[in-house]
Structure 1
Amino acid sequence: MSEVQQTDLLIVGAGPAGLSAAATISADRDFRVMVIDEFPEPGGRLLGQFHEERNHSWWIGKIVAADLIIQNTLAGVMIQCGVSVYGLELLPDGWRVLTSKGDIRTKYLLLATGAAEVPMPISGWTLPGVMSIGAAQVMANVHQVKPGERGYIVGVNVLSLAIAKELVVAGIEIEGIALPPDDLFAMEETNPVAAIELLTRLSDAAPAPWMRWGGKLAQKMKLSRLIASCFPKKGVKVWDLPLQLRTALVSIQGVDQVESVIVADVTRSGEIIEGSQREIEVDFVAIAGGLYPLAELAALAGCPFLYVSELGGNIPVHNERLKTTLPNLYVAGNITGVEGAQVAMAQGRLAAHSISYDAGWFACEEEPKLLDAIAEVKEVRRSAMIQFHPEIDSARKRIYELFEHWM
């Protein structure tokens, strides 16, 4: 039998939220901190992310991750990768965490497990060369391997647009970004009107001033239906990406691998226009079905949940300080609702201060830090380059109110 490991704080998830929490609490207190992750190296989704900020500087996730790992290493944080969690048990003095490398006893437990991609079955999706948009991102940005030379992206959402831009930077030709077929399995924007509404929410990140101004005007005046009716069938270029909001992918074609896609024009409501089907030659297809919070461990622990569509799905009930309804159990990052990596990092720092405050160390000194951390999360969310949903603040308020009612 393997020896039981002991720690003061165990963080499950070595992504932006988990690494930020570990670095923050280790810097402030003489506290034993351990971070575990099922992947072979720490960093999570940070390793494959980059984008251009409003000031035209580049935010590169791999550099951010390397800096966080150095901070944690210098602070004495133990990071163990290749470790999977399959059980959680609440004890009188903390938690027992059952992992693939043995049991871990901890007083405080922080779940920073992130999010996962929503699968979207499409005719031909089992062919080699069909992958999720996240897989294409990891291949290109983490492993420096092109998923193909000419690709087609299915799904118009924040994830597909951001990663498509990264793929173009990697020298990959994108033949089109189109809607998924409007069927039982479609999860997000499946018609031009819904896609236009999404784009107006992203207008702050548009590459040209007229796009930013036009997007805000369209959102304010609720012009999505009118724009969808007038949107060119051939699409438009946004960030040099061929955005085809009046087109839906019908099927993926090929024998031993992806060879082409069949697409068709659609009406404003997303219905296929018969006779408009056409074939486009590509060698890979990336499917973007959106993200949902990876919250299975919170469910295993016994947390109550609330389904919040604005946050991506089922969310463990927690308060503004990221404390759940269970003793000494906290959450941070996309498990609390799908947002960007910078928000997740701010939440990680908040969770660290919340744990320090609850632990009772110099409460009068810790409370101002906690309040500042809450304010920082709000500010980072407000100024984020890409907003996943305009109603995130009100959705989180519902979660916090339910926490108070539950307690």
Structure 2
Amino acid sequence: MSKVIIIGAGPAGLSAAITIAENGLEVLVLDEYMIAGGRLLGQLYEEPNGNWWNGIKESKQLYEKALDLGVKIQLHTAVSNLEKIDSSWVIYTATETYYTSHLLLATGATEAPLPIPGWTLPGVMSVGAAQVMTNVHRVKPGNRGVIIGVNVLSSAIAMELQLAGVQVACITLPKMSLVTKESGNPMNVMNSLLHVSHMAPSAFVKFGSKLMKIEFMKKMGITFFPKNGVKMWDIPIMLRKAVIEIYGDNEVEGVTMATISPTGEVIPGTEEKVQADFVCIAGGLYPLAELAAVAGCPFYHIEELGGYVPLHNERMETALEGLYVAGNITGIEGAKVAASQGVAAGLSIVHNNGTSNQEQNIKKAIQDIEHTRDNAFIQFHPAVKEGKQKLQHYWEEHLNTVKDMVGN
């Protein structure tokens, strides 16, 4: 039996492993990918201080530090099931079954697809796939692409594609439908776009974004938003056009777009074709929490955190004894927040294992998470703090329910 098992070798999992190993406990990290780092691997952007955040470099440093501390990292290992038997968590993989009393789920996030006519053509991919191809494998997804879906993730990756010499013809909306209602509504999209305006090189765009925070100005902004978009990083971002289909015979040849009204309805007769040899679909991210569900962890849907998240407290403990969570499984945020959560989870595990009293360190780690969140360069969900407050409320309700059951 391993002292601690961590599922997920991203920034949260590796940071937790390092913290635990530094306190003298054996750690085993399992991950289905061939390289440690998770979504951190694909990240590459310039920070406000002028330094470059290189995900591959950051991942390598975490990986090597973990190995130096004696952490066992087993890649190419997918977890198919887990369950609690007596006081042990049992983790099933294709090759072996593992046992532990302390299990951390740091499984991260996955992308939400947007169904668009033609999306099964070769050359259509998620925006995250394009990021990994470009930044990790150094393979261009194509020469000229269209990104469908205007959000924080697509905006950041579009900039990365440009840096790699890949032309992004435009970032535009999907045609509004029952499935794409939120991502196809110009007003909703403008709200999300305002949270990456600080990344724009244009002082005009930055200034305009400040005005757009006024509700009246938002409505005016959508109504008079240029049909051909506003450029950020020399990429047209279009809030008044939507893709109604992806076309091509045996592969992507382009997209058909149409002008839309301020409320998202297609204006007949405005259709036009835009040539491209690849298309990225950006439906946003949601917590990858299936293993927590299999374990029987209570869940709550919190929109501000990106979807369903397992119930947990600030110490990264779930409602199930010996089960912890950290990273994007707890809500969609950046890699630095995930790493901070990994440290907090690691300290909680050390403390609960009885190795040493970590109360003061845990309190500091919780403060560090808040500080990192407050200073995040990219905020995927602007109301994440409200989401965390909702989660804390649900946790307190859970504690009261447990007390009542014990009292009876």
Alignment partner of 1:223: what SS? helix
Q: Is the 8 A contact 2:297 2:311 kept in 1?
A: yes
Q: Counterpart of 1:3?
A: none
- Shift of the alpha carbon at 1:225? 1.1
Shift of 1:270: 0.6
Contact 2:155 2:196 in 1 (8 A): no
More divergent stretch after superposition (68-77 vs 388-397):
388-397
1:372 to 359, 364, 376: 364
Structure 2: stretches of 5+ with no match in the other structure: 400-408
Equivalent position of 2:82 in the other structure: 88
Question: Deviations along 1:96-145, whole A, 9 cap, x unmatched?
Answer: 11111211011100000000100111111111001110111111111111
Specify the code of the residue in structure 1 equivalent to 2:194. T
| 1:61 paired residue number | 55
In 2: Cα distance, 1:186 partner to 1:341 partner: 27
CA RMSD, 1 decimal: 1.3
Matching of residue 324 in structure 1 with residue 324 in structure 2: no
Structure 2 residue 127 is the aligned partner of structure 1 residue 133: yes
Residue 206 of structure 1 deviates from its aligned partner by 3.1
Give the Cα–Cα distance (whole angstroms) in 1 for the partners of residues 167 and 250 of structure 2.
22
The separation in 2 between residues aligned to 1:284 and 1:199, in whole angstroms, is: 23
- 1:270-309, CA deviations, whole angstroms, 9 ceiling, x for partnerless residues? 1101111001111010000111100000000000100011
Q: 2:179 aligns with which of 179, 185, 195?
A: 185
**Which residue number corresponds to residue 352 of structure 2?**
358
Identity of aligned residues (%): 47
1:388 paired with 2:380, answer yes
Shift, 1:200, TM fit: 1.9
Q: What residue is the counterpart of 2:18 in the other structure?
A: 23
Q: CA offset at residue 210 of structure 1?
A: 4.0
Structure 2 residue 4 is matched with structure 1 residue 9: yes
Residue 327 of structure 2: aligned partner: 333
Q: In the alignment, which residue of structure 2 is the partner of 1:34?
A: 28
Q: Which residue of 2 aligns with 1:77?
A: 71
Query: Are 2:241 and 1:247 aligned?
Result: yes
CA distance in 2, matches of 1:125, 1:49: 25
- For the Cα contact (< 8 Å) 1:188–1:289, is it kept in 2? no
* CA deviation string 1:362-400 (max 9, x = no partner): 32xx11111111011001111101111221111111112
Structure 2 distance, partners of 1:58, 1:34, is 31
* Residues 215-234 of structure 1 aligned to structure 2 (within 5 Å): 215-220=209-214, 223-234=217-228
For 2:5, the aligned partner's letter is L
| Counterpart residue number, 2:150 | 156
Aligned: 1:49 with 2:18: no
- The worse-fitting range, judged by mean Cα deviation, of 179-188 and 217-226 is 217-226
SS in structure 2 opposite 1:167?
helix
| Distance of 1:11 and 1:345 partners within structure 2 | 14
Q: TM-score, normalised by structure 2?
A: 0.95
Q: Determine if contact 1:188/1:290 at 8 Å carries over to the other structure.
A: no
Q: How many Å apart are 1:360 and its aligned residue?
A: 2.7
1:121 aligned residue (107, 110, 115): 115
Q: Cα deviation per residue 1:161-189 (whole Å; 9 max; x = unaligned)?
A: 01111001110111110001101221642
What displacement does 1:233 show? 0.4
User: Which one-letter code corresponds to 1:23 in the other structure?
Assistant: I
Any conservation in 2 of the 1:196–1:227 contact (CA below 8 Å)?
no
Gaps of 5+ in 1: 1-5
1:197 pairs, out of 177, 191, 202, with 191
Task: Output one character per residue of 1:80-107: Cα deviation in whole Å (capped at 9) or x when no partner.
Answer: 0111112212133331111112110111
Q: Is the alpha carbon distance of 1:222 and 1:50 closer, same or farther for their aligned partners in structure 2, counting shifts above 3 Å?
A: farther
Q: Distance in 2 between matches of 1:144 and 1:291?
A: 23
Opposite residue 117 of structure 2, the aligned amino acid is S
- C-alpha offsets along residues 68-88 of structure 1, whole Å, 9 cap, x if unaligned? 011111000000011111221
Amino acid in the other structure paired with 2:394: L
Aligned residues: 399
CA drift at 1:156:
0.4
